[in-house]
Amino acid sequence: MKKRYLFLSLFLLASFVQAKTQYVTKTLPTYSTTEDAKASGKILPTTPLEVIKTQDGKAFVKLTGWNKGKMTRILYFSKGERIISAAFSKKAKYEVKVLKTEEVGTKKDQWSNVTITTWIDNKELTDDLNALYSKAANLYEKNCGLCHAKHPTKEFSANQWPAVIKGMIPRTPLSKEEGLLVTQYAQKHAKK
């Protein structure tokens, strides 16, 4: 192989490896800098992200999602749906890049497609989204079909599910973390 092709393929391989999408398995704190001990936000389970670099046990990550209006402190998974990917405190430092802005629904709400970069602990990430969804589906099946028949996730919209699940969680032995995972699972398999 000619040297320049070798370099080109190594370069392509490196950029491919770097761009691989990972998914958050458990709610993860975010940090403004690598030195920060105090969390400045959180990323919810099943949220996709890309690791840009790692340093001192932390990872600098890029999340892609949507902001409603000018409110950048909440990153949503999809346009017009209240599926929370990440939430930041008032004091948090993170970078937001707006890719495009669209009007959504009859109220013509402004939603912006953005990327956000922040630091997290370099853990609780997986590239196996299906395994994560299986775990959630299993929790849903075991805990949400005890008293009544299991409601199909397609019965409610992504915006309806959080209130439904919130009212039911106290009746199940699900932990708060498991509840968050089940909520994300139901919202991401909801009626469109």
Q: Which residues bind ligand HEC (CB under 6 A)?
A: 143-144, 146-148, 151, 164-165, 168-169, 171-172, 182
Q: Which of 169, 178, 170, 109 is nearest to 137 (CA)?
A: 178
Nearer to ligand HEC, 111 or 178 (CB): 178
Nearer to ligand HEC, 71 or 146 (CB): 146
Nearest approach in angstroms of CB 181 to ligand HEC is 11
Nearer to ligand HEC, 58 or 188 (CB): 188
Residue whose tokens read 């402004």: 110
* Residue 78 burial (10 A CB sphere; 0-12, 13-18, 19+): middle
Nearer to ligand HEC, 99 or 146 (CB): 146
Nearer to ligand HEC, 93 or 151 (CB): 151
Nearest approach in angstroms of CB 171 to ligand HEC is 4
Nearest approach in angstroms of CB 47 to ligand HEC is 20
Provide the token pair at 109: 């709400």
Residue whose tokens read 């299906």: 130
Nearest approach in angstroms of CB 173 to ligand HEC is 9
* Residue 168 burial (10 A CB sphere; 0-12, 13-18, 19+): middle
C-alpha to C-alpha distance for 138 and 150, rounded to whole angstroms: 12
Nearest approach in angstroms of CB 74 to ligand HEC is 23
CB proximity list for 88: less than 8 A, separation 6 or greater: 30, 40, 41, 72, 73, 74, 94, 118
